Amino acid sequence: MEANNELMSNVRLEGNNIIRRSERETLLIEPWGKNALRVRATPNGKIEEFGWSALNGQSKKLYGECKTSIESNKARITYGKITCEVLPSGKLKFLNDKGKIILEEYDRNRFRKDQEGFNSALHINPRIFNSILGTDNYSLEMRFEANEGEKIFGMGQYQQPNLNLKGCILELAQRNSQASVPFMISNHGYGLLWNNPAIGKVTFGENLTEWTAKSTKQLDYWITVDDSPGNIEENYTDVVGRAPTIPEYALGFWQCKLRYQTQEELLEVAREYKRRGLPISVIVCDFYHWPYEGDWRFDEEYWPDPKAMVDELKDMGIELMVSVWPTVEYQSESFADMFENQMLVRTEMGGRITQLNNAKFIDATNSKARNYVWNKLKKNYYDYGIRTFWLDEAEPEYFEYAFEQYRYQLGSDLEVGNSYPRYYSQMVYDGLKQEQQEDIISLVRCAWVGSQKYGSLIWSGDIDSSFRSLRNQLSAGLNMGLAGIPWWTTDIGGFHGGHIEDKKFHECLVRWFEFGAFCPVFRLHGDREPHKKPLGTTKGAQVASGADNEVWTYGDEVYAICKKYMFIREKLQEYIKQQMEIASTKGTPVMRPLFYDYYDDEKTWEIKDEYMFGSEILVAPILYEEMTERKVYFPKGNWIHIDTKEEYKGNQTCIVQAPLNSMPVFVLKGEKTNLINRYGL
């Protein structure tokens, strides 16, 4: 259907879609999911569907009627609770079902025929494509008006303490300890996905919001409107995918350190946990258990009988997780084959430029490379009974993050680089599925939109051992959950540093351990001081090991506290399983800010140092050294302290005592029962 007036002559309706063509772009708006629209634009004439898109698969199913129209001074699409108006200038406005503008594009031009916006001499369009000469790619700038009083959450994992991202500038790039998952939730009742894996930046400024991509062929974003954060999250995960069913063993305690050097050392640690009667579900074999990066197998000198090791651990009820790196050293048995068959990341200039230490990265965007590596993993790990993999270096972590230097099968790093960790997770997920494996989980150091559907458990990378870092992890975990990744964990105690005899570190470790017991996955890891000497001078044996990192390593006081929280976690297994099932069916984060459940309470939108662990547990972690009491805000209801059994009424703030052996944790009191008497806390 063509418009029959001068102002809207370049707009037409095509089915449920609105298409606008102008000299500088083709614009497509279409219904996509529940109460949601997808917006795409390109100067190249044709709207494309790229393989990396987070909106592939079953995500275009419609919910109800979509209405489109062209009027004298605007085109309109209404779908459920969301409406988009297209003005003659091409500017877009988004409204909720009450007619309120919740988001509009930033347009600063003079003498608009539709009299919209400012009479401005700036000449700034909302969508700006700057040509990259000699290519069909563009650097992209996309601007929205800033909403007064807006609060913004999500976007993945960044190492900073801000839960509310309004006022923040975020790099859209993957780094060790940083995961760009560009979906945001606003307190103004909408969620927006930047469906573009290009390296870029977003600025949530007070004067405007600006998204940029350094190299791309088209603009692509998705927006949903709904009545609550939970509904927005459900709409979002419905179109990008949800986590599968988590294996039950993953809900218990995970023991890890840098690094167990031999098969016997690892087994003896597992045996000691059992001798002490401590609950343990997973033990981890960290990096350099291999001869060379890219061999993807045990070094038989130090790990002589992997099957016997796996069998003994299974008899103890413990799963073995093994570290997998996407790096291939020149000396490895795989390098020549992968290099000659174009399965490694290429460089734009120069020869075999080293990408990490003495190695190059596999090209995870290449299905041939993924299949090649999986076949190695199957032969050398899976066939021994190993079902759980630790996918380290998943960003990937280049020696220098010179994103313009690297190229994948799917395109340049600048154009598609942020999707790398998702393809890396898919490598193991697809392989395990081929073997009829169910309930898949992989520990992965990075993610992009949709990583969750490949069983990705994200951890927050190689962070330092400090209270400052602990504070960052709380905001990182909460925002990661809101970005659609419900399986999240952190190195308890931090990774870098932490001397095992340092009393100040003991305090940090204890507070982190208490927090870790109420994270989706409960995992102890770290590179502790003082280091142990390497076992050899060649291959993986030349890499040193950190000091011991078991719960009994730090003395009797620390051990007693760790033991207490290990058993609390054990008692909550059924509750956590229920929350994981909700995450798999609705996309609900297991750990989430208070406003997720109590969005009608304006105070909860201000709380950044408490969170809900499922719907019945309120956690108020201790995030500062020498803190033995803290303020706790209680939303509506009655709340019972799990240690003191003291009851607190909702809608108030109280001072709660927090000696070293007690983190303030509260359960919601029910009419007939609560978690304390249900699970014997």
What residues are labeled active site?
A: 392, 395, 462
Place of tokens 């390109």: 42
Report whether 268 contacts 552 (CB < 8 A).
Answer: no
Secondary structure of residue 568 in the 3-state scheme: helix
**Type of residue at 462:** D
CA pair distance 321, 536, nearest whole angstrom: 24
Report whether 104 contacts 38 (CB < 8 A).
Answer: no
Place of tokens 């459940």: 597
Q: How far is CA 233 from the centre of its chain?
A: 14
Query: Counting runs of H as helices and runs of E as strands, what totals does the chain give?
Result: 13, 43
- Burial of residue 53 (number of CB atoms within 10 Å: 0-12, 13-18, 19+): buried
Q: What's the chain's Rg over C-alpha atoms?
A: 26
CA pair distance 158, 616, nearest whole angstrom: 27
Tokens representing residue 630 in the block: 């803290």
Report whether 590 contacts 596 (CB < 8 A).
Answer: no
Phi, psi of 203 (to 5 degrees): -120, 115
Q: Which residues of 187-221 are buried (b: 16+ CB within 10 A; e: fewer)?
A: bbbbbbbbbbbbbbebbbeeeebbbbbbbbbbbbb
Secondary structure of residue 382 in the 3-state scheme: helix
Secondary structure of residue 107 in the 3-state scheme: coil
Report whether 156 contacts 182 (CB < 8 A).
Answer: yes
**Whole-number Cα distances in Å, 164 to 187, 607, 670:** 10, 10, 31
**Whole-number Cα distances in Å, 392 to 175, 176, 287, 362, 462:** 12, 10, 9, 13, 11
**Type of residue at 284:** V
DSSP 8-state symbol, 246: P
**Whole-number Cα distances in Å, 374 to 370, 378, 379, 447, 563:** 6, 6, 9, 19, 38
255: β partners: 283, 524
Kindly report the CA angle at 591 between 596 and 161, in degrees rounded to 5? 90
Taken in order 498, 502, 503, 506, is the CA torsion positive or negative? positive
Neighbours of 1 (CB within 10 A): 11
Helix (H) or strand (E) holding 416: helix 413-416
Neighbours of 559 (CB within 10 A): 16
CA pair distance 385, 306, nearest whole angstrom: 9
Kindly report the CA angle at 521 between 640 and 674, in degrees rounded to 5? 20
Tokens representing residue 620 in the block: 């108020």
Tokens representing residue 69 in the block: 């129209």
CA pair distance 336, 635, nearest whole angstrom: 60
Could you tell me if residue 439 is left (phi over 0), alpha (psi between -120 and 50 degrees) or otherwise beta?
Answer: left
CA pair distance 248, 439, nearest whole angstrom: 9
11: β partners: 20
- Burial of residue 556 (number of CB atoms within 10 Å: 0-12, 13-18, 19+): exposed
